[in-house]
Amino acid sequence: MSSTKSPVQAGKSRLRFAIVVVGVVASLLIVRLAQIELIDGPRMAEQGRLARLTDRPVPAVRGVITDVNGNKLAVSVKAYDIVADQTLVAGPQEVASKLAPLLHMDSAALTHRLIGKKRFIYIKRQVTPALWQKVKALNLPGIFPAPAYQRIYPAGASAGNILGFVNIDGGGAAGVESHMNTVLSGVPGMARYEHNPAGDAIPGTAAENVPAIPGSNVRLTIDRDIQWYAETQLAAAVKSSKADYGTIVMMDPTTGDIIAQATLPTVDPNQPGKVPAVDRGNHAITDVYEPGSTSKMMTMAAVLDNGAATPLTKFKVPYSKKFGTRTLHDHNPHGITHWNLNGILAESSNIGTFMAASKIGKRKLYTALKKFGIGEPSGLGFPGESYGYVPDPSAWSITSFPTIAYGQGLSLNAFQAAAAYAAIANDGVRMNPRLIAGVTDPSGAY
């Protein structure tokens, strides 16, 4: 009997095999579909949602800086940063050609910034709301605004060297803005949005919001009107004396409060880049100088404080005196003159000042100068302060004692000089100079 299947039987076998194969494949597809629907579906949906999410920083409003009377000297106004999501920009070159004229940017450079895979890249910082509206009207996919603030200084260059300025990120870069940056800055927040294909935030999709905390306001000790007057007087003095720069410090002797402090050349904090870097700081803090005859007051105070003489104690003062190989002398020639301390100070006699200082010796003179704050931090607390210098007596040469007594061979800054003179006016009590009157928190508490 033959075992060979008939054509009909073979066809049935192939059909059964095909049915089995189809059944197996169908079963696998059903299982896979169930897996996608029940297991992978939610995960893939979440992945899709995450791909549409954009994190946007929420800047904190920087605190206001005012004068002692509450007049605003530095404020922050609403602005926008123009930002791009490079993955959504269609035709970077075409987009750049439309944006560049509005933003006053080079089209080729802008094209380069629009190419890539970054989801968040700055295109232009701190533009006005009006300019953003013009950009928005172009309907460019992938170009969107990020909230920002622009720092404005209503008084322009007035008190500019005190106030300082901020950098492009809104952080303090000089002056009070830098010194009080932590207080003024506040804490930035964060907002997460779902966006559409054009990169625009989908309304109502904000999630995981972290609100920004506004910065605190800072009140200065300066008076805006007195500050203006000091600046006009300084400008006239610098011009008449043909000086390179000048500075004024007006201080309340009893409190140390700085009522006005002017420096020339000055800086407009709205446009700090328009002046040389050396003039963006504050010469009253960073620069030191030999006090010269203005230091004689400190020497006389030291003599009186040590009980070595009284204002009426007389000295036989020659025009000049020899120290080793050097001869030191007074400014104006005169014969041997009998002056008391009042007369020596009134005539600004170098030799007479040294003769008075000789009554206490160089160590006590040095100690007195240190008590006046020479070579020490002024107490102002601002960064970049130069403390000045007075050498230790062990390092003095034969001429150091007389020259230091009348103001040469030592150095100080303008705030130190003001504090020293203020100490005399305050019955010998030295107060640290103070520019910060206080801080006002967001609730208004001072």
How big is the chain, counted in residues?
446
**Per-residue pLDDT band at 46 (split at 50, 70, 90):** low
State yes or no: pLDDT of 309 exceeds 60.
yes
**Per-residue pLDDT band at 198 (split at 50, 70, 90):** low
Q: What is the mean pLDDT of the chain?
A: 89
Higher-pLDDT residue of 120 and 21 is 120
Alpha-carbon separation of residue 208 from 194, 204, 233, 422 (angstroms): 11, 12, 55, 55
Percentage of the chain exceeding pLDDT 70: 85
User: Can you give the pLDDT at residue 106?
Assistant: 94
Percentage of the chain exceeding pLDDT 90: 74
User: Can you give the pLDDT at residue 25?
Assistant: 66
Mean pLDDT of the 109-126 span: 92
Domain locations in the chain as residue ranges: 292-412
User: Can you give the pLDDT at residue 38?
Assistant: 61
Taking only the tens place, the pLDDT of each residue in 373-382 is 999 999 998 8
User: Can you give the pLDDT at residue 40?
Assistant: 57
**Per-residue pLDDT band at 200 (split at 50, 70, 90):** low
State yes or no: pLDDT of 325 exceeds 70.
yes
User: Can you give the pLDDT at residue 152?
Assistant: 97
User: Can you give the pLDDT at residue 393?
Assistant: 97
- Cβ 81 vs Cβ 127: under 8 Å: yes
State yes or no: pLDDT of 179 exceeds 80.
yes
**Per-residue pLDDT band at 69 (split at 50, 70, 90):** very high
User: Can you give the pLDDT at residue 30?
Assistant: 72
User: Can you give the pLDDT at residue 58?
Assistant: 84
User: Can you give the pLDDT at residue 210?
Assistant: 85
Please give the model's pTM, rounded to 2 decimal places. Answer: 0.81
Instruction: Domain 292-412: give its CATH superfamily.
Output: DD-peptidase/beta-lactamase superfamily (3.40.710.10)
Taking only the tens place, the pLDDT of each residue in 212-254 is 999 999 999 999 999 999 999 999 999 999 999 999 999 999 9
State yes or no: pLDDT of 418 exceeds 60.
yes
- Cβ 54 vs Cβ 121: under 8 Å: no
User: Can you give the pLDDT at residue 98?
Assistant: 93
State yes or no: pLDDT of 197 exceeds 70.
no
Residue 149 is encoded by which pair of tokens?
């603030």
Mean pLDDT of the 179-191 span: 92
**Per-residue pLDDT band at 37 (split at 50, 70, 90):** low
**Per-residue pLDDT band at 194 (split at 50, 70, 90):** confident
Mean pLDDT of the 146-170 span: 95
